[in-house]
Each structure stands twice: as structure tokens, then as C-alpha cells.
Structure 1
Amino acid sequence: MDKQAHILVVDDEAPERITLGEVLRLEGYQVKLAASGEEALALVQETTPPFDIVVLDLRLPGIDGLQVLDHIRQLSDETIVILITGYGTLETAIRALRKGAYDFLLKPCPVDEVLRAVRRALNEVQAGRHRRALVQQL
């Protein structure tokens, strides 16, 4: 597994954002943090190569998580988005998945559950890279 994966954590609640960021760093990932949708979009636009994964809170001040998800999908089809929220409903989860979210986790979410979702997402990232490499060889 690619431990040099670039992950963006977006959450307006500082303790959760900082804790998740530190846990991911301890796992060996490169992590950036954003406290708002606007800050997240600025980081997504300026980061090259694109983030492998964005762990995104649904409820954010200003631009909400679903709007951020839409913008990320427009900017990078390679970035996988995992939504996490304390205000989830089945309808919201379905909307998020239809918009391209990879996973939808409910707070309070145990750290090991987030790590499992990140690992699964990284497997998808690597599989996508492998497929693109094979297509280029053809």
C-alpha cells in the first residue's frame, strides 16, 4: 500500500480535524488540513498531483460538503472522497454516493473505521493507477 498517499482532512471542528490528521500522519500518510469548504477547494486547486483522498465533513460553514464534493469531482476524477458527518440521513448518504462519494461514515466514527475506509480507498486509487498504466501501454 502506498503510504506516501496525500490525504486532505476537511472538518470545521478543530479537535476532530487535528486528531484525524495526526492519526493519519502516524500511519505514514502525507496530510493537509482544512477548516472550511473554501479552504479545502483552494488546497485542491493548488495541489499537484491531486490529493489521493479527501476525508470531508458534510456540514461545513459556507460551502457545505456536498458542494465541495461537486467541485472536487470537476477538478479531479482521480481523487476519492470519503464523507463523514454527525448529521447523516439515508437520503443524504444516497445523494452523496450518487455525486461520487466513495464512502459515507457517521460520527462519532471510531478511528479504526476511518482507517479501514482510507485503506480501501487507497486500494481503489492504486487499482485506478494500474488500469491507466495498462491502457497507456496499449
Structure 2
Amino acid sequence: MPERHTVLIVDDDPPIREMLTDFLSEEGYEILVAADGASALSVLRESAEHINLALLDVRLPDVQGLEILRAMADKGLEIPVIVMTAHGTSSTAIHSMQLGAYDYLTKPIDLNQLGLTIRRLLEHHALAQQVKTLQSKLNEHLIQERIVGSSPAMQQVYKLIGRVAGSDATVLVCGETGTGKELVAEVIHENS
């Protein structure tokens, strides 16, 4: 049985929330709902790991949608977001995309277009996650090809290289002459 995706709907307009909930439930999605920004942030705090997608209204009565988008980015949440608004401007669309939104839809929402956009988004996100996983495995393999050793200490070195290569951290490699500091630095550089 295929995985059932969970969608968080954040909108202060009850008829829109109900319409989206009904449509997406019929499409087979699990639904979480928030009527304002504070509720959305609370749901994200409690259930982020279970949410596959968020539909986020820009204008909310308390915390604005773009502030929620920024908070999600600051927390490192990799939940794809589709921003919705009845008051669309190109600057709002650009700003939401810069903050990490996948798409920007104007109300009234075309449900057929929304369904297609969600399917494409979830496929794209799944592929991106697969690429990330495969890249990590490839990096581990390349590291082990360049640096010889299978002791527990070397396994720790491989893990550290993999961890720092994927980050923006500045790294200082220390050790005795002839221990492979330059090789480790090259591998980190090649994989960053």
C-alpha cells in the first residue's frame, strides 16, 4: 500500500479550509489544519516529522504566512510549501519563493491545478530526498576509495569527513607528519 501523505492546511478562511480539506481527503491525503499562524507554528513544532506538504495562506490574522515560511527555514524543516493568497503581488510571490516556497497559487484555487501541483511537488521532493541519500552514499564510497583503512578509528574519520563535507563549517585538520592530513582536506573539499 502506498504511503499516505500528510498535508498541513494553514488558512484563516473557514470555507477555504473546508474546501481544501474535503478535496485533499478525497484525493487520499491525511489532513492537519491550522486557522492562524500561531496554531500553524504549534502544529509544526509537534508534528513536523509527519508533515509531507504545507498549504500556507500569506495573510493570517496573527503571524503572517511568510513569517511562518521563514521560521520553517530557520528551523531547517524540509517540508515543501505551496503559498496561497487572494492578494497576490509579484513581490510577494518572489519573496515567498526566495524563502523556499515551491509554488505560489492565487485564490480562488483551481482544485485540479492544486491536485496536479501537489502530486508534482511530492514526486519532486521524493526524488530530491533520494538524490540526497545516494549522494551521501556515493561520498562515503569515494572517501573510502581515496583513504585506506578499516579500523574503528578510520571508520570514525570517514563519518567525520562525511559530516563536515556536507556543512558550511570551517575545518582545521591536525595531525603528525605523514598521517594523511592533506588527503583528508582534499576529500573534504571535493565532497563539499
TM-score, normalised on structure 2?
Answer: 0.67
In structure 1, the gaps of 5 or more residues are none
Percent identity (aligned): 34
SS in 2 for 1:4: coil
Question: After TM superposition, what 4+ stretches of structure 1 lie above 6 angstroms from structure 2?
Answer: none
Match of 2:113 in 1: 113
Q: Does 1:12 align with 2:35?
A: no
Structure label with greater radius of gyration: 2
After superposition, where does 1:20-99 map in structure 2 within 5 Å? 20-99=20-99
In structure 2, the gaps of 5 or more residues are 139-192
Aligned-residue offset at 1:137: 2.8
SS in 2 for 1:83: strand
Q: Work out the number of aligned pairs and report it.
A: 137
2:50 and 2:29 map into 1 onto residues whose CA distance is 14
Aligned-residue offset at 1:30: 1.2
Aligned-residue offset at 1:136: 3.9
2:47 and 2:89 map into 1 onto residues whose CA distance is 32
Equivalent residues of 1:81, 1:103 under 8 A apart: yes
Amino acid at match of 1:93: A
Equivalent residues of 1:3, 1:28 under 8 A apart: no
Q: CA 1:76/1:21 → structure 2, altered by over 3 Å: closer, same or farther?
A: farther
1:48 and 1:16 map into 2 onto residues whose CA distance is 23
Kindly report the root-mean-square deviation, in angstroms, between the aligned alpha carbons of the 2 structures.
Answer: 1.4
SS in 2 for 1:109: coil
Aligned-residue offset at 1:74: 2.1
Q: Does 1:137 align with 2:144?
A: no
1:60 and 1:33 map into 2 onto residues whose CA distance is 14
Aligned-residue offset at 1:78: 1.7
TM-score, normalised on structure 1?
Answer: 0.92
Relative to its length, the structure with more helix (as a share) is 2
